[in-house]
């Protein structure tokens, strides 16, 4: 039986496929960035989310660069948990501010403060800059936990798409460096640089394409991409050892080109003794919940993510 779009997603997605711009040339990372920036411009113009205050901080990354942080704190009494949040963008989109409405809605709905990270992106800042920036933000939150009313034992890391891959990479770095993280929340994470050959079952339904995946990984890794020398903190699917990592939540659509790598990563986490909650959403392409947020499957997915954060 062929793969099909969820009925509630189908009209919007078919309109998107019919009207999307011509694909960028393989390797043109800046063209992808321009397209993402255009798509995000409307979200960036939205008014602030009611009931969420913003404070701006900076963290120092491994190479001395100053990384902007946005602390989004919901009003009212809080439990002491917090989440470091990493936006998507295929490893090539590099501005957190257009993504803040999404992060603020997450804080408002869950009651959990969100630290949104303006990590640097490729091609100007290849590996290890993005994952080191995300790690630096996580370490900064531990260092400033007391003043922010956060319990250091209840800090999670969460990311979407490229941000999900970076979140997984941060958990590997945190294990190596002894930084405790309570949970990893991986939303259709970008984990495997080898995933560049089109699957004919998925190619026509892919909102993030195999060509874009090639471009994003090569912008991040350069000539290392696809070789045996890719480090696990850059592409966590490469990790030999997934033991000793925080409990994981993994969420992906079955029409997403990341489906198989995400399922396999969840399986390997579980085999290594890590508690895993895995959701594979039928009829859903990459970033499905942003395309039709009112769809039942999008609502279920968001409710599950909120549930996980509330349980921190």
State if pTM tops 0.95.
Answer: yes
Is 256 assigned a catalytic role?
yes
Low-confidence residues of the chain: pLDDT under 70: 1, 42-46
pLDDT tens profile 121-154: 999 999 999 999 999 999 999 999 999 999 999 9
pLDDT score, position 1: 63
Length of the chain: 312
- Closest by CA position to 159, among listed 258, 273, 81, 249: 249
pLDDT score, position 21: 82
Check 133, 192, 251, 256 and give the catalytic one: 256
CA 141 – CA 118 distance, rounded (Å):
14
Quick one: tokens of 128? Answer: 């290890």
Check 81, 138, 161, 209 and give the catalytic one: 161
- Whether 243 and 274 have beta carbons less than 8 Å apart is answered as yes
Alpha helices (H) in the chain, listed in sequence order: 10-19, 29-44, 100-110, 129-143, 145-148, 162-177, 210-221, 259-271, 288-291, 296-310
- Whether 43 and 101 have beta carbons less than 8 Å apart is answered as yes
- Closest by CA position to 225, among listed 126, 108, 94: 126
Is 223 assigned a catalytic role?
no
Which residues face 66 on adjacent strands? 60
pLDDT score, position 44: 63
The string of DSSP codes covering 27-93 is T-HHHHHHHHHHHHHHHHTSPPPTTEEEEEEEEE-TTS-EEEEEEEEESS---S-EEEEE--STTT-
Give, rounded to a whole angstrom, the gap between the first and last alpha carbons of the chain: 39
CA 55 – CA 52 distance, rounded (Å):
10
Check 125, 127, 142, 286 and give the catalytic one: 286
DSSP secondary-structure letter at 214? H
- Domains of the chain plus CATH, in order, are 10-310 (3.40.50.1820)
- Whether 211 and 24 have beta carbons less than 8 Å apart is answered as yes
Question: Which distant-in-sequence residues (6+ apart) come within 8 Å of 25 by Cβ?
Answer: 31
What is the dihedral angle through the alpha carbons of 231, 233, 238, 240, rounded to the nearest 10 degrees? 100
């Amino acid at each position: 039986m062929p793969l099909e779009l969820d009925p509630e997603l189908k009209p919007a997605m078919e309109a998107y496929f019919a009207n999307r711009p011509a694909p960028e040339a393989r390797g043109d990372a800046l063209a992808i960035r321009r397209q993402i920036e255009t798509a995000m411009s409307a979200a960036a113009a939205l008014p602030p989310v009611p009931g969420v205050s913003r404070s701006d901080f900076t963290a120092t990354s491994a190479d001395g660069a100053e990384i902007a942080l946005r602390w989004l704190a919901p009003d009212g009494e809080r439990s002491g948990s917090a989440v470091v949040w990493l936006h998507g963008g295929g490893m090539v989109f590099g501005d957190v501010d257009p993504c803040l409405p999404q992060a603020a809605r997450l804080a408002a709905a869950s009651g959990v403060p969100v630290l949104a990270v303006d990590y640097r992106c490729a091609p100007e800042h290849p590996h290890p800059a993005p994952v080191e920036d995300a790690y630096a933000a996580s370490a900064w939150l531990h260092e400033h936990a007391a003043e922010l009313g956060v319990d250091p034992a209840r800090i999670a890391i969460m990311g979407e798409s490229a941000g999900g891959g970076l979140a997984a990479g941060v958990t590997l770095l945190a294990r190596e460096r002894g930084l405790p993280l309570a949970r990893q929340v991986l939303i259709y994470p970008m984990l495997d640089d080898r995933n560049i050959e089109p699957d004919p079952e998925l190619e026509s339904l892919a909102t993030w394409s195999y060509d874009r995946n090639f471009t994003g990984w090569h912008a991040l890794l350069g000539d290392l991409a696809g070789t045996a020398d890719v480090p696990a903190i850059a592409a966590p699917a490469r990790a030999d050892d997934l033991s000793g990592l925080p409990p994981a939540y993994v969420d992906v659509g079955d029409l997403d080109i990341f489906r198989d790598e995400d399922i396999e990563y969840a399986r390997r986490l579980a085999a290594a003794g890590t508690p895993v909650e895995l959701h594979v959403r039928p009829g859903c392409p990459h970033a499905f919940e942003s395309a039709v947020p009112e769809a039942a499957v999008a609502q279920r997915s968001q409710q599950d993510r909120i549930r996980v954060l509330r349980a921190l």
